Amino acid sequence: MGQGLPATRVEVGATGADGIACAVSGYRGVLAVRDSGGRSMLLTDECLRAAQAELARAGMWAELSAAAGLAGLRSCAAGELDGPVVCVSTSSGFKGRGVGEDRSEPVSPEWEAVRARLRAAGLDD
C-alpha cells in the first residue's frame, strides 16, 4: 500500500460458508479489530454448523456463513467477554447450498396433521 497504514490479507480455504468464502484484504478491518479491542477468529465449518443448528432451534433459518457471529461467540472462553455482545446474522437459509434438495411428502394443512409431522421430526411443542 505504501501509505504506512496497517494492512493484512486473509486467503480463503475450503469451506461450506460460501457467503464469506472470498479472500479479503485492507486496513479497515485491521483498524476495527485494533480500535475496538477485539480480535479476529478462524472458525471451522463444524463450529459454524453447530451455531447454525443452535439458531435453527431458536427459530432462525440462517445459511452457514450467517452463523459466523454466533459461532465466534460460542468459541470464546467463559468470562472472556466483558459487556454486551451483539451477534448479527446476515442472511436467511435460502442462500445455503442444497436448499430444497431434501423433499418431504406434502402434509394436510389441518393443524393436527401439521402437529403430527412436527412431532415425527422431533419438534414437539
Q: What pLDDT does residue 6 have?
A: 75
* C-alpha to C-alpha distance for 107 and 88, rounded to whole angstroms: 33
In this prediction the pTM is 0.64
Whether the CB-CB separation of 61 and 91 falls below 8 Å is answered with: no
pLDDT 10s per residue in the chain (125 long)? 457 777 777 777 777 776 676 667 778 888 888 898 888 888 899 999 999 999 988 888 888 888 999 999 999 887 888 878 888 887 777 666 665 566 778 889 899 999 998 888 877 65
Spatial contact of 79 and 32, defined as CB atoms under 8 Å apart: no
Separation CA 103–CA 113 (nearest Å): 17
What is the Cα–Cα distance from 93 to 61, expressed in whole angstroms?
Answer: 5
pLDDT for 10: 72
Is the CB of residue 112 less than 8 Å from the CB of residue 105?
no
